[in-house]
């Protein structure tokens, strides 16, 4: 037994303590900038006031929660919306991308732990000078550990976590997008059904006018031209009625695809009469930064880009790799696990790049430029969010005012039609006046139907602009992603 063999057991506790201290110090050091959320200006109030009767913004009023489409109180719409998260293929693709990003965090986190490998071997060899066959059995176990001295691995994990959170926000943004698309198509169908009901009523009315002109012609008090005018008016409305079927079929097919079904598997019967859009709390502008999934995704991308700067800066410092090995080697298989056949090794390696022609410095500048781009994208996303809310509020307010004006126009047009009809029956007006009054009444009635559909669609756009029922607290935490 030599002196080294005797001294090693005595030094082992000291080596263990020293190694643990080195690892603790090494894993406590972080190179690179500390992340701070980029500043983004938010107004104290929206420029456009909500429509009359809607709730004013309050600091503790966070707007919609959960299933936002339920504010319309339409069971059929609720059932269709539930299918988007389950069967929409684009949503499922986004969900798979999030799962991939989550697993990437776990892959990066594995770098914080040692790698343990083994490569058992059994060799038989012989040469010309020997008459026998030599056997060599080896059972090695190797440990390799890249010590995260400067925090590059930890920053990689943090970057992966931020990227996964961005992916989770993008998943929610996809859900919101396709849910809003479905609601928009659904209200388009409701508007077309209301137009169909109006045109069907108009066709019956115009058939009576055709009969009126025919009776007057048969009585010799009207011309054949009056009959032709009445028949033309009737057939024109019948053509408009038939044309509605094309648009309705297209919207129905779009809803089928949004719910993950082929168009042949979904039919939407005519629903109840439309109601004006419901009122819901708008909230304050600053809350929008926490309620929009696309804003949250952009902010998390900034955080990931910030971590990449630290990773690039850590490349300027040396890396420390710890390795250890041990095992058993023998020429007799049964002795493979016996104590005398053991062997071990212990060592560390310090690696530093001495010259790379400016590669690392360029890499740092590249990551800084990428970070600046993500900050600009984040701020632009915030600006776009405020714009979309203001656009939807303005649209709702203006359409509501236009609907009131149109209602007055309908009343006036109906009075004009009633008067013209009475005068025509009395022989004091020609049928052209009746046709003019009919056209004006129908146009205003159709405008009212279209305005109601547009108001409902604008309310969906506002809900989407406000982030639906989502907020940033729904994002998975870094701890959840690393489990």
**341: number of Cβ within 10 Å:** 17
In this predicted structure, what is the pLDDT of residue 11? Answer: 47
Q: For the purposes of burial, counting CB atoms within 10 Å of the CB of 168, is it exposed (0-12), middle (13-18) or buried (19 or more)?
A: buried
Looking at residue 115, the DSSP 8-state letter turns out to be E
Does 173 share its domain with 308?
Answer: yes
User: Which CATH number characterizes residue 377's domain?
Assistant: 1.20.1600.10
201 pLDDT above the threshold of 70: yes
Instruction: With a cut of 60, say whether residue 2 has pLDDT above it.
Output: no
**Average pLDDT estimate for 299-315:** 96
Q: Please, where are the H alpha helices in 27-151?
A: 75-87, 89-109
Q: Report whether pLDDT(329) > 50.
A: yes
User: What does the block give as tokens for 131?
Assistant: 């008459």
Residues 82 and 176 in one domain: yes
- The pLDDT assigned to 365 comes to 97
- What's the pLDDT tens digit per position in 432-456? 999 999 999 999 999 999 999 999 9
Shared domain for 19 and 65, answered yes or no, is: no
Strand 134-147 versus strand 115-118 pairing type = antiparallel
Predicted pLDDT at 130? 58
The CB density around residue 407, as the number of other CB atoms within 10 Å, is: 14
Q: Is the dihedral of CA 309, 312, 313, 318 positive or negative?
A: positive
Could you tell me if 4 and 104 lie in one domain?
Answer: no
Q: Count the alpha carbons within 13 Å of 89 in the hemisphere toward its beta carbon.
A: 6
CA dihedral 271, 274, 275, 278 (to 10 degrees): 80
Give the angle subtended at the CA of 29 by the CAs of 24 and 32, to the nearest 5°: 160
* 328 domain-assigned: no
Report residue 335's pLDDT band, with 50, 70 and 90 as the boundaries: confident
Structurally, how many domains does the chain consist of?
2
In this prediction, residues 169-173 reach a mean pLDDT of 96
Question: 458 in a domain, yes or no?
Answer: yes
The whole-number pLDDT of residue 27 equals 54
- Position 470 in a domain: yes
Q: Which of 46, 472, 176 is nearest to 295 (CA)?
A: 472
pLDDT-derived band at 275, boundaries 50, 70, 90: confident
pLDDT at 259 over 90: yes
Task: Identify whether residues 97 and 2 lie together within a single domain.
Answer: no
Domain membership flag for residue 118: no
| Positive or negative torsion for Cα 332, 335, 337, 340 | negative
Task: Give the residue numbers spanning the domain of 364.
Answer: 31-112+149-317+359-482
More confident residue, 55 or 154: 154
The residue assigned the tokens 């129908």 is 442
Picking from 471, 286, 385, 402, the residue whose alpha carbon sits closest to that of residue 51 is 402
DSSP class of 58: -
Same domain, 306 and 169: yes
Q: How confident is the model at residue 51 (pLDDT cuts 50, 70, 90)?
A: confident
pLDDT in tens, 215-254: 999 998 889 999 999 999 999 999 999 999 999 999 999 9
CB burial string 246-280: b at 16+ within 10 A, e below: eebeebbbbbbbbbbeeeeebebeeeeebeebeeb
H or E element at residue 140? strand 134-147
Q: For the residues 270-297, what does the mean pLDDT come to?
A: 87
Average per-residue pLDDT for the chain: 88
- Position 8 confidence tier, pLDDT thresholds 50, 70, 90: very low
| Same structural domain, 93 and 239 | yes
What pLDDT, in 10s, does the model give residues 375-418? Answer: 999 999 999 999 999 999 999 999 999 999 999 999 999 999 99
β-partners of residue 284 are none
User: Would residue 132 count as lying in a domain?
Assistant: no
Report the pLDDT value the prediction gives residue 358, as an integer from 0 to 100: 93
Residue 13, C-beta contacts closer than 8 angstroms, at least 6 positions apart: none
User: Is 380 contained in some domain?
Assistant: yes
pTM over 0.95: no
- Identify whether residues 60 and 14 lie together within a single domain: no
Both 67 and 82 in a single domain?
A: yes
Query: Looking at the structure, do residues 101 and 55 belong to the same domain, yes or no?
Result: yes
**Using CA atoms, how far apart are residues 211 and 390, in angstroms rounded to an integer?**
52
Residues 14 and 69 placed together within one structural domain of the fold: no
Picking from 399, 386, 379, 392, the residue whose alpha carbon sits closest to that of residue 46 is: 386
CB 162 within 8 A of CB 309: no
Is residue 374, in this structure, part of any structural domain at all?
yes
- Reading the block at residue 374, the tokens are 């993500």
Q: Are 479 and 158 in contact (CB under 8 A)?
A: no
Residues 76 and 105 in one domain: yes
Asked if residue 14 has pLDDT above 60, the reply is no
pLDDT at res. 370: 97
Backbone angles phi, psi at 117, to 5 degrees: -130, 160
Model confidence over 17-34: pLDDT tens digits?
455 555 555 555 788 899
pLDDT of 59 reads 46
Residues of the chain above pLDDT 90, percent: 65
């Amino acid at each position: 037994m030599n002196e080294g063999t005797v001294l090693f057991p005595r030094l082992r506790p000291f080596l263990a303590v020293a190694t643990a201290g080195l690892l603790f110090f090494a894993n406590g050091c972080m190179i690179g900038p500390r992340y701070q959320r980029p500043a983004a200006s938010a107004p104290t109030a929206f420029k456009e006031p909500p429509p009359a009767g809607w709730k004013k913004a309050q600091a503790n009023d966070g707007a919609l929660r959960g299933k936002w489409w339920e504010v319309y109180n339409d069971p059929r719409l609720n059932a269709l919306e539930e299918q988007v998260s389950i069967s929409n293929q684009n949503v499922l693709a986004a969900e798979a991308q999030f799962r991939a990003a989550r697993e990437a965090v776990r892959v990066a986190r594995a770098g914080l732990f040692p790698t343990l490998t083994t490569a058992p071997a059994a060799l038989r060899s012989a040469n010309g000078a020997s008459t026998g066959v030599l056997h060599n059995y080896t059972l090695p176990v190797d440990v390799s550990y890249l010590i995260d001295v400067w925090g590059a691995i930890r920053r990689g994990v943090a970057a992966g976590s931020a990227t996964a959170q961005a992916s989770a926000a993008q998943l929610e943004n996809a859900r919101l997008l396709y849910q809003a698309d479905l609601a928009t198509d659904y209200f388009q169908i409701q508007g077309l059904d209301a137009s169909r009901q109006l045109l069907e009523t108009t066709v019956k009315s115009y058939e009576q006018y055709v009969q009126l002109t025919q009776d007057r012609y048969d009585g010799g008090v009207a011309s054949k031209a009056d009959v032709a005018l009445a028949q033309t008016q009737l057939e024109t409305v019948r053509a408009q009625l038939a044309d509605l079927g094309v648009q309705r079929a297209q919207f129905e097919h779009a809803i089928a695809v949004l719910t993950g079904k082929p168009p042949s598997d979904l039919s939407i019967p005519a629903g109840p009469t439309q109601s004006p859009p419901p009122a819901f709390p708008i909230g304050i502008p600053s809350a929008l930064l926490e309620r929009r999934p696309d804003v949250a995704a952009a902010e998390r991308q900034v955080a990931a880009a910030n971590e990449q700067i630290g990773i690039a800066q850590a490349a300027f410092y040396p890396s420390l790799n710890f390795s250890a090995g041990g095992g058993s080697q023998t020429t007799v298989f049964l002795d493979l696990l016996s104590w005398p056949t053991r062997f071990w090794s212990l060592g560390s390696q310090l690696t530093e790049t001495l010259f790379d022609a400016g590669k690392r410095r360029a890499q740092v500048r590249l990551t800084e430029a990428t970070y600046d781009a993500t900050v600009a994208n984040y701020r632009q996303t915030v600006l776009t969010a405020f714009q979309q809310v203001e656009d939807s509020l303005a649209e709702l307010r203006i359409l509501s005012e236009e609907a009131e004006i149109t209602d007055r126009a309908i009343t006036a047009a109906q009075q004009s039609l009633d008067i013209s009809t009475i005068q025509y029956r009395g022989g004091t007006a020609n049928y052209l006046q009746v046709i003019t009054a009919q056209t004006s009444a129908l146009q205003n009635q159709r405008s009212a139907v279209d305005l109601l559909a547009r108001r409902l669609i604008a309310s969906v756009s506002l809900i989407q602009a406000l982030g639906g029922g989502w907020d940033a607290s729904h994002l998975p935490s870094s701890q959840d992603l690393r489990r």
